Amino acid sequence: MRIKVNKLLVDKDNFKLGPINYTFDEGYVYAITGNSACGKTLFLQSILGSIDIKKQMVLYDEFNFYDNEVEIKSSYSYIADRPLFSDKLSVETILNKISKLDSRFDISSCYEYIKKYNIYKHKKIYELSQGERKILLFGIGITTHSNILVLDNPLAGVGLIAKREMLSMIREYMDENKITIIVTEEPNVIKNLADYVIVLNNGQVEISEDVVNLQNRYENKNVEEILVSILKGEGKHE
């Protein structure tokens, strides 16, 4: 599987994204980062087919969202940064609904995972802390069998123990020659997980590079310092 972004150009609410050309290959982890309001969400929405774009701008192998939306959306699992369902629903109701709608979802494994963090099926979403909600979303996404995993700020607001296990589970997923795309503002996530980093700035790709090569080029292992330099326009260009 390969995701090909071809001259992606999006104009929305007086914000312009692109043009962007990029290829996501299987077997690698890609981190998308940048300052707030730099276009990360819009780029992610384009990749996931959540906004209207021209037919050939995003391709999953030979498939496009106009002709093959069902096939494409059944190839990825998306972990949102916040619940996309009513906070009045119980955990059990949500998981049962997902299980009926998506045969790829392993509800037993999800229950097993969230139970470790005292997230029980009778609890309503509004009763969960921010960290518990993130754990629930992660549990749903990681136990949905897919070839592509897309995560939107998955570790923000999560405790240290849960964060460590999440990182471990993402690494296990990475080992299976699949595509992993993480939107994050956490330098440690980029340093510890990503093979490639895409830095967006005002809707443009400021840099896209292998993380190790980037560290070597800057002669600096501190990813946060490198990213700050890039966004300040102090980047070293080859």
- pLDDT tens, residue by residue, 153-189: 888 888 888 888 888 888 888 877 899 999 998 888 8
pLDDT higher than 70, residue 48: yes
Residue ranges in the chain assigned as alpha helix (H) = 40-48, 65-73, 91-101, 107-115, 130-142, 160-174, 187-193, 211-218, 223-231
Model confidence band, residue 119 (pLDDT cutoffs 50, 70, 90): very high
Q: How many domains does the chain have?
A: 1
CA 11 and chain centroid, separation: 22
For residue 51, being part of any structural domain is answered with yes
The answer to whether 109 and 143 have CB atoms below 8 angstroms apart is yes
Q: Is residue 85 part of a domain?
A: no
On whether residue 34 sits in a domain, the answer given is yes
Residue-number span of the structural domain to which 11 is assigned: 1-75+148-157+177-237
Contacts of 157 (CB under 8 A, 6+ apart): 130, 131, 134
39 — alpha (psi -120 to 50), left (phi > 0) or beta?
left
Which of residues 196 and 172 earns the better pLDDT score? 196
135 is a domain residue = no
Q: Which two tokens stand for residue 29?
A: 């982890």
Q: Does the residue 166 lie in any domain?
A: no
Residue 152 counted as domain residue: yes
Residue 190 lies in a domain: yes
Q: Look up the CATH number of the domain holding residue 56.
A: 3.40.50.300
Give the per-residue pLDDT at 209: 93
* Backbone CA torsion sign across 99, 102, 107, 113: negative
CA distance 52 to 10: 9
